[in-house]
Amino acid sequence: MGGTLLAVLAAAVLLAGVSRRLDVSAPLALVVVGLAASAIPGFGAVELDPELVLNVILPPLLWSAGLESSYVTMRQHIRPIGLLAVGLPLATTLAVGFVAFHTVPELTVAAALTLGAIVAPPDAVSATAVGRRLGLPRQIMTLLGGESLLNDATALTAYKVALAAAIGASASWRTGLATFGLAVAGGLVVGLAVGWLIAFIRYRLDDPLVESAIGLIAPFVIYLIAEEIHGSGVLAVVVAALILGQHSTRAGYATRLQDDAVWKALQLILESFAFLMIGLQLPEVVHELTGIPFLTIAVSSVAVLATVIVVRIVWVFVFAYTPRLLIKRVRENEPRPGPAEVFVLAWAGMRGVVSLAAAFGVPLTTLSGDAFPGRPQLVFLTFVVVVGTLLLHGLTLPWVIRHFCVRGDDAQQDALAEAAAQDKAARAAAERLDELLEEQRASGTALRDGAAAVLQKWNTARRNAAWERLGRSEEELGESPASAFRRLRLEMLAAERATFIAERDAGNIDDEVLRSVLRGLDLEEATLNRR
């Protein structure tokens, strides 16, 4: 089994690389390839282990997303994010539970609500990838990112409560609500406590390698601690990641560069593996339906999938405009969203591997020893919702964005804000340089070889570069001084790098020396190429 999973992992990364090269949505391509592979006669089923997803794949993905999220921005949009990440999953749980209970005869109320909680949380990976490529406004991207961070915690906590009732572990819904409250409180406490503790330790080590190592194991430790005390491991990981992300400015530059590279690579690996595994589950899911009438499966599939889609559209539109009619503060402080922007947000409701893992995690029997009511249908309906939303929304979302011309001017605004900040920072740097020069003159020492003049010119060039990017293109104005400096310095760096490599090949310097000097050149090139 280990060899099979390793083969799937390697294939997933390779397919993701090809998709990125061809500018195709990697999640959609991986799901389609997985479905096609699973349909090949004689292809062995690759079983999705729910423990692998919930304990190994989910924590680092949540952690990575939390590190990249902005706590300040999320706090500014706390009301719409809360409605999407808390209210919408609960509403979806109830609506799908109601529809499933009336379309699948084998499901009890608790089992139907379990299905509702399973399919409630959208996975924003595909949506944010499409939105980033097509230039969606930042507010929509913020809402999608904030929703994807927190909705798993809401849905999985509701899943725990409904599942406990379905298998007979919970005597009443009052007990279930207490369980829900304990999970939320436990997740918040663990996330806050461990997050602050890790931040306190990491930023006093001054050792980038150890700091990154702590960051790699942190999501798993936090998740397990929270789950052990019956808290929400998902919520704990998200809260801790937001704390670490907010305080990442206190880390050294080497730690930030290292963390960024490590987490981006790990995120690509885990996401690719998860989406390919979704498609590969088709044989096992279909196999469990033996003996169930086709008409029942068809009707319930259409009904549940339609409910998931319609509930999101109705919820998003209602809570985009209703609060403006009822609350004066909302009307005064929040701009009125356009219908096109609201529809794009409502249409970005793709489900992912978390839903499938939760479905496969439903036990075969209840505590009394009876078969879990309607488990084969529950698993199949989850598969239908996941694959259906991924293909329907994923394939049409780019067209919807282009058709409604939903674009943001964030790039120009960011460039203007950066130029203003760079100007202010350059002025502060110039003032500090003048202070240092004055202190040296007062002490009877002075910088040699025109070092002060070089620094002043360098600072002025950095100050002007951001403003130059705001004007017309280089094709219109010709090459700017900053661009000429960058082009020439990159050529010089390439010559230096080639010389160092030749010296190593000739045996004049050791590989360790080469790696050391190349790191310095790489950091300078990264600075020049940050655009």
Residues of the chain by 3-state class (helix, strand, coil), percent to 5:
80, 0, 20
> In angstroms, rounded to a whole number, what is the distance separating the alpha carbons of residues 389 and 384?
8
The answer on pLDDT for 219 being more than 90 is: yes
Rounded CA separation 66/236 (Å)? 11
In this structure, whether the domain defined by 1-407 belongs to CATH 1.10.760.10 is answered with no
Most confident of 10-14, 49-53, 352-356, 483-487: 10-14
Q: Which residue has the higher pLDDT, 468 or 519?
A: 519
User: Is a pLDDT exceeding 90 seen at residue 279?
Assistant: no
pLDDT of residue 320: 92
Widest pairwise Cα distance in the chain = 95
Is pLDDT larger for residue 92 or for residue 456?
A: 92
- Environment class of 403 (CB within 10 Å of its CB; exposed 0-12, middle 13-18, buried 19+): exposed
What pLDDT band is residue 529 in, cutting at 50, 70 and 90?
A: confident
Element (H, E) at 297: helix 294-326
Encode 60-81: b = buried (16+ Cβ within 10 Å), e = exposed: bbbbbbbbbbbeeebeebeebb
**The most confident of 21-30, 113-122, 163-172, 346-355, by mean pLDDT:** 113-122
Please give the Cα distance from 61 to 67 (Å, whole number): 10
Residue 311 pLDDT level (bands cut at 50, 70, 90): very high
The whole-angstrom separation of Cα 340 and Cα 336 is 12
- pLDDT, averaged across the chain: 83
In this prediction, residue 415 carries a pLDDT of 58
* Confidence band of 346 (pLDDT split at 50, 70, 90): very high
Please provide the DSSP assignment of 111-169 as one string: HHHHHHHHT--B--HHHHHHHHHHT--HHHHHHHHHHHHHHHHHHHHHHHHHHHHHHT-
With beta carbons less than 8 A apart as the criterion, state whether 120 and 155 touch.
yes
Q: Determine the 3-state secondary structure of 371 from DSSP.
A: strand
**Confidence category of residue 251, pLDDT binned at 50, 70, 90:** confident
Identify the residue whose tokens are 């602050």: 196
Picking from 159, 202, 126, 183, the residue whose alpha carbon sits closest to that of residue 389 is 126
Residue 42 has pLDDT above 80, yes or no: no
165-169, 179-183, 256-260, 468-472: which has the minimum mean pLDDT? 468-472
Retrieve residue 237's tokens.
Answer: 């990981």
Phi, psi of 290 (to 5 degrees): -55, 125
**Phi, psi at residue 168, to the nearest 5°?**
90, 15
The residue among 180, 4, 9, 155 whose CA lies nearest residue 84 is 155
- Answer whether 380's CB lies under 8 Å from 110's CB: no
pLDDT digits (tens, 9 = 90+) for 483-496: 777 777 788 888 88
Instruction: Give which of 144, 11, 3, 52 is closest to 353, Cα–Cα.
Output: 52
Of these ranges, 57-61, 94-98, 395-399, the one predicted with the greatest mean pLDDT is: 94-98
First and final C-alpha spacing in the chain: 44
> Distance (Å, rounded) from C-alpha 527 to C-alpha 531?
9
pLDDT over 70 percentage in the chain: 87
Phi and psi at 351, nearest 5°, equal -95, 160
pLDDT beyond 80 at 209: yes
Residue 477 reports pLDDT greater than 50: no
Distance of alpha carbon 187 from alpha carbon 229, whole angstroms: 9
Whole-number pLDDT of residue 446: 61
Q: Would you list the domain boundaries of the chain?
A: 1-407, 409-469, 480-530
Q: What is the pLDDT of residue 77?
A: 86
pLDDT for 447 equals 58
218-232, 316-330, 355-369, 487-501: least confident range = 487-501
Q: What is the mean pLDDT of residues 243-270?
A: 83
- pLDDT of the residue at 285: 86
